[in-house]
Chain A
Amino acid sequence: MPKLLRADQMKKCIGCYSCMLACARTLQHDFSPRKAAIQIRSVGGLQSRLVVDICRGCTDPPCALVCNCNALTPRRGGGVRFYKDRCIGCEKCVEACIVGAIRFDEDNKQPIICIQCGTCVKYCPHEVLSMHEV
């Protein structure tokens, strides 16, 4: 069964960025969490709450819909598959994702796409993140 990333326990988040570091090192081979497909941030500073921008696993993903070069295709169960070699870096997917889960990597001129692999979940020390069967 395919699984999708969920962050439904954000109230437990301590803001350690372990998930972001894990995503960046595993998928982008980069130390910088700027490269991660999951982004934790505070709204209103650390006195307020932490929020997360993640791929919501749309079953009819708008990012894939606008991708005319077929670099993004719908994934069974939700979300997308990303074929890097087909991507021409047009950034349309970035605009199409209204929940802000896709950012553009200026270094390699490609979007940073969550592939629902669950690596971030393995490094969450506070059970904030989980993979759900769909």
Chain B
Amino acid sequence: MTRTSSIRILDINLTDKKFQVKEREDLAPFLGGTGLATKLYAEYVAYDKPPLAQEQPIIITCGPLSAIFPMATKAVATFRSPLTGEWGESHAGMRIAFAMRFAGFRAIIIHGRAERPVYLSIGPNRVDFKDGTPLWGMPTDETGRILRQISPGQGFRSCLRIGPAGENLVAFANVNVDTYRHFGRLGLGAVFGSKQLKAAVIYGGNSEPIPDPKQYREVYDTIYHLAVNTDIMEKYHGLGTSGNIAALSALGALPTENLQKNTFEGSQAISGEAFARDTLVRKVACTGCPVGCIHIGVRRKLFAEGHEYESTYIAYDYEPIYALGTMLGISTQEQIFDLIDYVEQSGMDVMSTGVLLAWLTEAYQKNIVTKEALGIEPAFNNVDNYMKIMDNIVSQPNELYRLLARGTNQAAQKLGGLDYALTLGNHEMAGYHTGYGNLVGLALGPRHSHLDNSGYSFDQKALRNNLSREQVVREIIAEEKWRNVLNSLCVCLFAREVYTRENICAALACVRINMTGEGLEKLGDEVFRLKNQIRLQLGYNPGNLNFANRFFETPAMGQELDREILADMINMYRSQAGI
């Protein structure tokens, strides 16, 4: 049972196959999620060791509202990123937070390295270190199928697993969570792989009496009503995030063909509207979310004469369509589905993969890499060749592919082509070229993710409301701090307008946590400060950020960007943030 006055932690050591359960009252002020994962990371990190050293921890947390309030569906992982060498943080949905809550753990810490491949089976009353040897080498879907077959807790479990990319330590490998969600971006899959940890099944069966059923029902109803009966969440449930393809292309903010362009001529065929019309078959939800934003499309493929078809059900969103579609000049849904499917099965981050392939295509055009070393010619809109290249990135048959598996920045540092290597803070860019706010937000945010502070949204707001640069920076920092609060609660960021200060405090009161709006703000400040302190110790240097020329060559929403203005805004951020 979850106790509200303390945080229950499962601490697993893979090296000696031992675990401990700890109750920590001192951690209660951090609530859960990113706050808790940051605080624990500071305790467990080995600053002097590389990201894939066995001492490095993986910390996974859920929050006090997880599973019991609508859209409180996220879990947070912290680790040292093998892609950047710095702060690693990633968030995932589906059923993980639900399973963790009813398994009784607010945090799971995994460190050490198994002698041979293992998977973990974690439940309320037991933790098993299971032999994962037969699973090693398997794609993510087959791994999931077998684990479902042999694990307890159907309907109440979450299944985390890596694919071959994580096993082979591809620096941007991800962890698949329950088929359709992921711990993506900064390479948690490689950290799993380095520990010979193929998977973790978490199952929850605990009960948890409600302290005040009437109070809980009232607060639940308020939040449920906002989610279901108002239009706040409609854009996520309706077309979904893929609605951004047409919108951003029209704005001239859609990175296309390695950001040589900011609109995509073929965007109509791969817009959210087009996917909904042609291939959308259903929507699913993370457990505990009545919205259902996960859009599943069908890829129907003729595999032989005589009307022989196979069908695959693949999730799509804005980011995969941007990264494997517009960035690579691909304008059919079928081809995008094929690329997404490969990325899913091998277990790679979709955005990093797309940006890397886009950079490689241009690097090849500019004779920085040769066909001899690659074996295949990368070309925009050539899916077959991209598939073969991805295969080689995963298997790494030669030195060039071993380098590419370390990510775009590492490859460009070594081979050249930094002018068009689209990384920010050494992390492949998200699908927005909206202006200064986006660049500042991505370069300085802890995850170098558009979700850190949504810098891109302030570019659009600045245009509409004529905001000054100072105001944009101020809003980015305020947003980043507030998101530290939302992410400590582990509510989905799509629900940020539902989870107002008032609603959060009311929800926390239902689990006997007394919190004020001011207390929440303080928590956001503290997590922001602590994260930056850790990042600096990990080697992050905000005074030494590189920006590819391409960001200034291709206009962002009709505006040509200026390096000096960007430098000014970065200085403003640093001075306001104290870094």
- Contacts from A to B (Cβ < 8 Å): 11, 14-18, 21, 25-26, 29-35, 39-42, 44-47, 105, 107, 123, 125-126
Contacts and interface: CB of A to CB of B under 8 A. Distances in A.
Interface in B202-237: 204-210, 213, 216-217, 220, 224, 227-228
Given A15-B284, A105-B207, 14 more contacts: A14-B284, A14-B292, A16-B290, A18-B70, A21-B68, A30-B210, A31-B208, A31-B209, A34-B205, A35-B207, A41-B154, A44-B148, A107-B207, A126-B292
Contacts of A123: 224, 290
A15 B287 contact: yes
Contact of B207 (A11, A14, A18, A32): A32
Nearest to B314: A47
A15 B290 CA distance: 8
Q: Is the interface of B mostly helix, strand, loop or mixed?
A: loop
18 contacts: A15-B287, A16-B285, A16-B286, A16-B290, A17-B98, A17-B288, A18-B290, A26-B213, A30-B207, A30-B208, A31-B68, A31-B209, A34-B205, A35-B207, A42-B155, A45-B179, A125-B228, A125-B292
A8 B103 CA distance: 32
Which of A11, A21, A39 has the largest count of B CB atoms less than 10 A from its CB?
A21
Interface in B186-213: 204-210, 213
A82 B291 CA distance: 33
Interface string B98-113: 1000100000000000
B228 A34 contact: no
B444 interface: no
B141 interface: yes
Contacts of B207: 30-32, 34-35, 105, 107
Nearest to B144: A45
Contacts of A25: 210, 213, 216-217, 220
A109 B338 CA distance: 51
Contacts of A18: 70, 224, 288, 290
Nearest to B71: A16
Given A16-B288, A18-B70, A126-B292, A39 B155 contact: yes
Contact of B148 (A16, A35, A45): A45
Contacts of A42: 155
Interface residues of B, number: 42
Kindly name the residue among B145, B206, B227, B284 whose own CB sees the greatest number of chain A CB atoms within 10 A.
B284
B362 to A, nearest CB: 35
Nearest to B67: A31
Contacts of A30: 207-210
Nearest to B208: A31
A32 B102 contact: yes
A125 B205 CA distance: 25
Nearest to A53: B155
Contacts of B217: 25-26
A105 B207 CA distance: 10
A46 B209 contact: no
B313 interface: yes
B208 A47 contact: no
Contacts of A16: 285-292
Contact of A41 (B155, B210, B282): B155
Name the residue among B144, B155, B179 with the largest chain A CB count within 10 angstroms: B155
Contact of B180 (A17, A40, A46): A46
B283 interface: yes
Contacts of A107: 207
Interface string B417-459: 0000000000000000000000000000000000000000000
B490 to A, nearest CB: 15
A18 B221 CA distance: 11
A105 B206 CA distance: 11
Nearest to A47: B313
Nearest to B205: A34
B288 A47 contact: no
Interface in B136-153: 141, 144-145, 148
A15 B285 contact: yes
A47 B205 contact: no
Contacts of A32: 102, 204, 206-208
A40 B155 contact: yes
Contacts of A47: 141, 179, 313
B154 to A, nearest CB: 6
B178 interface: yes
Contact of B290 (A35, A39, A125): A125
Contacts of B178: 46
Nearest to B510: A31
Nearest to A11: B282
Contacts of B292: 14, 16, 125-126
A29 B214 CA distance: 9
Interface in B257-309: 282-292
Contacts of A35: 207
A47 to B, nearest CB: 5
A59 to B, nearest CB: 29
Nearest to A16: B285
Contacts of A126: 292
Contact of A14 (B67, B144, B227, B285): B285
A111 B206 CA distance: 16
A17 B290 CA distance: 8
B68 A17 contact: no
A16 B180 CA distance: 14
Nearest to A26: B217
Interface in B40-70: 67-68, 70
